Chain A
Amino acid sequence: MRFDDEPIEPGDPLPILPGHHSAGRFERLLRAGVFTITAELSPPDSANAEDVYARARIFDGYVDGINATDGSGANCHMSSSGVCALLTRAGYAPVMQISCRDRNRIAIQGDVLGAAAMGVNNLLCLTGDGVAVGDHPGAKPVFDLDAIALLNIVRTMREQACFESGRALTTPPKVFLGSAANPFVPPLDFQVARLAKKARAGAEFVQTQYCFDVSLLERFMQQVRDEGLDKRLFILVGIGPLASARAAEWMRTHVPGVRIPDAVIDRLRRARGKGAAKAEGKRICIDILERVREIPGVCGVHLMAYRQEEAVAEIIDRSRALDGRIPWYPGRDRHSRPAREVDSPTELPEEMLA
């Protein structure tokens, strides 16, 4: 999908349309009613920019937004603001994750301004995993804010143009605000109330935890529609391929908040032969994608394919989730820019005149 007002330089912002909050493609697509796809980039344990670009390129032409995680699982990696700084230079649409675990409100608000200045249009406000589950269990957990307080603060920054302290901002951050939801863990019936609270605090989109139990999601989405939340929030369902029955077992005991039904693990276990489990894992993911797509109120999917990033393209292709469209990536429009949009070709850089 192309917008008529695409910027000439890939890193430049799109014009902010009336009723929109950000200059980003991600918000544009969701508000246009397009089934939208995001994927999680696993940040490198390195100080090399090319490591980030190599991981982003895997998704070229398949995703509309790339999530930059912020020490997910309380493990140390390159920071989400660092990853986002690199991604925005190339014109990608990152979803910058902000966790409340490692920084207090002074640091986080500063990061929000910095991120928006770098061209980050989407923020995902998270509470964050506890330090005990990560690789630095002795670290001090901060949790000065929680996800809902954070949403409220960033919305205030955007709309009232001031910090939590009330001190004024000269340019507010024009960001599209998101948060997480986990429909699969207790207190199940409170999860929708919690989502409503997030919407009231400022969330505009939601990415859920891994969905392996579609019936629980259906139940949750029914409650979401009953509360009218599908009209206020764009909901992207988290999905991902499991590599094997053992990986699935590990994940459900070690990754906080992930619920994998026994039926899924049995299905993986039955797959015998070299690579069979991995193929079955992808098939399960495609099945889930196709099923969640049919649920009213689901606006897209968020792919988390940790250590299987190359599987994302196959899953999206085989499920036809893109309906034939090609999401923007650096260089996509270089040779195919339609003439009608080039009003003054002399102003274009040389490579675009090819």
Chain B
Amino acid sequence: MRAVRYWSVSHAGAMQRVYQALERLLIMIDPLLRKLGYQHLEAPFAAVERVLKGWFFDCRMCGHCVLQSTGMSCPMNCPKQLRNGPCGGVRADGSCELDPAMRCVWVEAVRGAARLPGERIQVIQAPLDHSLVGRSAWLRELRLRTAP
């Protein structure tokens, strides 16, 4: 829902704090998750993410979350799915070239990023790995963080 999506950007700071708390929690219980086996957790994690991130960010389950680099505005809602910045077609009122009823995802991202510390919006994002689509982004991130 767009209204909720815009609200999440307006509260990007709070959203990021929730994310950081979740991160700490997951890292803490990682040994337990590891024992259970990541492969068994994939489906339930993905289901939870689909609901939660779907509600707050209109998540499209790309499997490679970059919300904290995009001011909590999900770039997959861009009709061109641009992960590095807006295209050159943004309308003068800040709405999308292809969907005039929607505010440009990147105009929103800049608004959200202003509420977050650091300059993560400047990070160059690699092209999406399409083999991750539909999978849990949290588990992937956790695996990368805790990899020995």
A62 to chain B, nearest CB (A): 26
- Give Cα A132–Cα B89 distance, bound, in whole angstroms: 12
Answer whether residue B90 sits at the interface, using C-beta atoms and an 8 A cutoff. Answer: yes
Known: A146-B80, A185-B89, A185-B92. A133 touches B98 (CB 8 A): yes
Tell me which residues from 120 to 142 in chain A have a Cβ below 8 Å from any Cβ of chain B. 127-130, 132-133, 141
Partner-contacting stretch, out of A166-174, A190-198, A306-314, A335-343: A190-198
Interface string of B61-98 (1 = CB under 8 A from A): 00000000000000000011111111111111110011
- Give Cα A152–Cα B126 distance, bound, in whole angstroms: 9
Residues A187 and B90 in contact, CB atoms below 8 Å apart: yes
Residues B85 and A257 in contact, CB atoms below 8 Å apart: no
B94 CB contact (under 8 Å) in A143, A149, A186: A186
**Tier of interface size on chain A:** 35 or more
- Give Cα A46–Cα B24 distance, bound, in whole angstroms: 61
- Give Cα A133–Cα B126 distance, bound, in whole angstroms: 27
Q: Is the interface of B mostly helix, strand, loop or mixed?
A: loop
Answer whether residue B116 sits at the interface, using C-beta atoms and an 8 A cutoff. Answer: no
Residues A180 and B86 in contact, CB atoms below 8 Å apart: no
Answer whether residue B124 sits at the interface, using C-beta atoms and an 8 A cutoff. Answer: yes
Residues B122 and A146 in contact, CB atoms below 8 Å apart: no
Partner-contacting stretch, out of B3-11, B35-43, B103-111: B103-111
Chain A residue at minimal CB-CB distance from B127: A149
Contacts of A141 in B (CB 8 A): 79-80
Contacts of B20 in A (CB 8 A): none
B54 to chain A, nearest CB (A): 21
Residues A180 and B98 in contact, CB atoms below 8 Å apart: no
Known: A127-B80, A127-B82, A256-B97. A186 touches B125 (CB 8 A): no
Residues B79 and A127 in contact, CB atoms below 8 Å apart: no
Residues B79 and A149 in contact, CB atoms below 8 Å apart: no
Residues A185 and B127 in contact, CB atoms below 8 Å apart: no
Chain A residue at minimal CB-CB distance from B98: A130
Known: A186-B94, A257-B97. A193 touches B84 (CB 8 A): no
Chain B residue at minimal CB-CB distance from A201: B124
Residues B84 and A148 in contact, CB atoms below 8 Å apart: yes
**Chain B CB within 10 A, most for which of A152, A187, A193:** A187
- Give Cα A99–Cα B61 distance, bound, in whole angstroms: 25
Answer whether residue A51 sits at the interface, using C-beta atoms and an 8 A cutoff. Answer: no
Chain A residue at minimal CB-CB distance from B111: A187
Contacts of A129 in B (CB 8 A): 89, 97
- Give Cα A147–Cα B127 distance, bound, in whole angstroms: 10
Contacts of A147 in B (CB 8 A): 84
Interface string of B29-59 (1 = CB under 8 A from A): 0000000000000000000000000000000
Answer whether residue B139 sits at the interface, using C-beta atoms and an 8 A cutoff. Answer: no
- Give Cα A344–Cα B83 distance, bound, in whole angstroms: 56
Answer whether residue A105 sits at the interface, using C-beta atoms and an 8 A cutoff. Answer: yes
Answer whether residue B137 sits at the interface, using C-beta atoms and an 8 A cutoff. Answer: no
Answer whether residue A259 sits at the interface, using C-beta atoms and an 8 A cutoff. Answer: yes
**Chain A CB within 10 A, most for which of B89, B122, B124:** B89
Contacts of B128 in A (CB 8 A): 144
Residues B106 and A130 in contact, CB atoms below 8 Å apart: no
Answer whether residue B12 sits at the interface, using C-beta atoms and an 8 A cutoff. Answer: no
Residues B98 and A185 in contact, CB atoms below 8 Å apart: no
Contacts of B127 in A (CB 8 A): 105, 144-146, 149, 153, 164
- Give Cα A187–Cα B94 distance, bound, in whole angstroms: 7
Contacts of B85 in A (CB 8 A): 146, 148, 190, 193-194, 197
Contacts of A200 in B (CB 8 A): 124
Residues A257 and B98 in contact, CB atoms below 8 Å apart: no
Contacts of B79 in A (CB 8 A): 130, 132, 141
Interface string of A236-253 (1 = CB under 8 A from B): 000000000000000000
Measured CB to CB, the residues of A under 8 A from B are 100-101, 105, 127-130, 132-133, 141, 143-149, 152-153, 164, 180-182, 185-187, 189-190, 193-194, 196-197, 200-201, 209, 256-257, 259
Closest CB pairs A-B (n = 9): A256-B89, A182-B88, A148-B84, A130-B98, A257-B88, A149-B127, A194-B85, A256-B97, A187-B110
Could you name 16 residue pairs across A and B whose Cβ atoms are closer than 8 Å?
A100-B80, A127-B80, A130-B79, A130-B98, A141-B79, A143-B81, A148-B124, A152-B124, A152-B126, A182-B89, A185-B88, A185-B89, A187-B110, A190-B86, A256-B88, A257-B90
- Starting from the known contacts A144-B130, A149-B127, 16 additional A-B residue pairs (CB-CB under 8 Å) come to A128-B80, A130-B98, A132-B98, A141-B80, A143-B82, A146-B82, A148-B124, A149-B83, A164-B127, A181-B88, A182-B90, A185-B86, A185-B92, A187-B110, A190-B110, A197-B84
Measured CB to CB, the residues of B under 8 A from A are 79-94, 97-98, 104, 106-107, 110, 121-122, 124-128, 130
